[in-house]
């Protein structure tokens, strides 16, 4: 950005923030993503009025927006030249300020509604599988292994594919600068958004997207995770290939999934497309996608075992042999 452009952009950002309702909107959107309807409910103002404020703030560069079906979600910018202005402004406001405190209480009501909707969807579609999974997997061991491996890297950006309720973002979110979770289910994304608000992770957000065609540019992420999701993929090799495309040079992929097993009821009753994975086929897919330095470890013993595969892309054009 040129100096003149920087001056103009900063001036427009300050003008956009310097109004009572727009400042309230900025403070709310600094906690995470919200729709026009959410903000209308919290601010107790008309939708056209709130929409006009949002349009101005988005054009000024202090809010990001994205369309998801019929809904448009807004969040305060966390990256780029104007992010520091947003952070400084937000930090100036005392959470105990009566106006802001009242808005935050209303925000809690909104996110609680999201949770209720998501829990209803989860009970209807996934309750049986979730109950079975808890008998098969020691989740504390899996989480500890994943976090330990992740902390050995210096990743700043994370893409969690098939994020569900945002478990991985919550587990690793405080150790990154920017996190994105994708899922096809809007109900699950509501639950994940509620979790991001509750955990205080405004730098982590979620998007509706297909893991077979990730809506990101090449080399966008330092780290990627597939946490107990790859067995639902129609073509795991295509998913891993997409991960290789969006991984930065020296980027790391973390795959948590079942080892190859004979539990055919998983497919029949719970929609699994793959009965776990062998190290041989996983290595083949990872190498094909441009990953190397592949490490494997069993992170939860059971029937079947749960495996953690960690692989990295080369830091240069030089290709190395997998370990």
The full set of domain ranges for the chain reads 3-116, 126-162+211-312
Over range 262-282, report the average pLDDT. Answer: 89
Confidence of residue 89 (pLDDT cuts 50, 70, 90): very high
pLDDT of residue 319: 44
What angle is formed at CA 225 by the lines to CA 146 and CA 186, rounded to 5 degrees? 120
pLDDT at 299 over 80: yes
- Per-residue pLDDT averaged across 104-124, rounded? 85
- What's the CA gap between 147 and 172, in Å, rounded? 7
pLDDT in tens, 160-174: 999 998 999 999 999
- In this predicted structure, which of 43-47, 75-79, 128-132, 222-226 has the lowest mean pLDDT? 128-132
Mean pLDDT within 217-236:
96
- The per-residue pLDDT for range 135-165, each reduced to its tens digit, is 788 999 999 999 999 999 999 999 999 999 8
pLDDT, greater one: 306 or 135: 306
Domain covering 3-116 assigned CATH 3.30.450.20 in the classification = no
Q: State the pTM of this model.
A: 0.86
| Average confidence (pLDDT) over 65-92 | 92
For domain 126-162+211-312, the CATH architecture is: 3-Layer(aba) Sandwich (3.40)
The answer on pLDDT for 129 being more than 70 is no
Residue 7 has pLDDT above 50, yes or no: yes
Is the pLDDT at 322 greater than 60? The verdict is no
**Sheet of 63-68, strand order:** 34-35, 71-76, 63-68
**pLDDT at residue number 155:** 96
pLDDT bracket for residue 4 (50, 70, 90): low
Residue 24 has pLDDT above 60, yes or no: yes
> What pLDDT band is residue 127 in, cutting at 50, 70 and 90?
low
Q: Kindly indicate the confidence band of residue 243, based on its pLDDT and cuts at 50, 70 and 90.
A: very high
Q: What was the pLDDT predicted at 315?
A: 86
Residue 136's pLDDT is: 80
Separation between Cα atoms, residue 295 and residue 322, nearest integer Å? 9
Mean pLDDT over the full length of the chain: 91
Q: What confidence score (pLDDT) does residue 1 get?
A: 53
Instruction: Provide the pLDDT for residue 2.
Output: 54
């Amino acid at each position: 950005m040129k100096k003149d452009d920087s001056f103009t952009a900063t001036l427009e950002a300050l003008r956009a923030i310097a109004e009572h309702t727009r400042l309230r909107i900025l403070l709310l959107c600094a906690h995470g993503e919200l729709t026009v309807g959410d903000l209308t409910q919290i601010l107790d103002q008309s939708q056209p009025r709130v929409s006009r404020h949002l349009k101005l703030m988005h054009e000024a560069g202090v809010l990001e927006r994205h369309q998801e079906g019929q809904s448009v979600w807004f969040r305060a910018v966390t990256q780029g030249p104007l992010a520091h202005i947003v952070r400084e402004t937000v930090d100036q406001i005392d959470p105990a300020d009566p106006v802001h405190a009242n808005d935050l209480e209303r925000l809690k009501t909104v996110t609680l509604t999201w949770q209720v909707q998501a829990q209803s969807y989860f009970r209807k579609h996934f309750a049986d599988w979730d109950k079975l999974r808890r008998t098969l997997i020691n989740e504390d061991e899996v989480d500890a292994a994943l976090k330990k491996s992740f902390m050995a890297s210096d990743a700043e950006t994370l893409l969690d594919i098939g994020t569900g309720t945002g478990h991985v973002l919550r587990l690793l979110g405080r150790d990154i600068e920017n996190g994105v979770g994708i899922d096809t289910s809007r109900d699950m994304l509501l639950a994940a958004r509620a979790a991001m608000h509750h955990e205080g992770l405004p730098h982590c957000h979620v998007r509706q997207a297909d893991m077979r065609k990730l809506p990101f540019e090449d080399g966008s992420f330092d780290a990627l995770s597939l946490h107990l999701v790859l067995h639902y993929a129609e073509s795991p090799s295509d998913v891993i290939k997409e991960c290789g495309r969006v991984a930065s040079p020296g980027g790391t992929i973390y795959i948590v999934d079942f080892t190859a097993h004979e539990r055919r009821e998983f497919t029949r009753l719970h929609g699994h497309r793959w009965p776990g994975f062998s190290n041989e086929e996983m290595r083949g897919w990872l190498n094909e996608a441009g990953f190397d330095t592949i490490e494997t470890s069993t992170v939860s013993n059971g029937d079947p075992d749960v495996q953690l595969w960690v692989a990295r892309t080369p830091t240069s054009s030089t290709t190395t042999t997998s370990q």
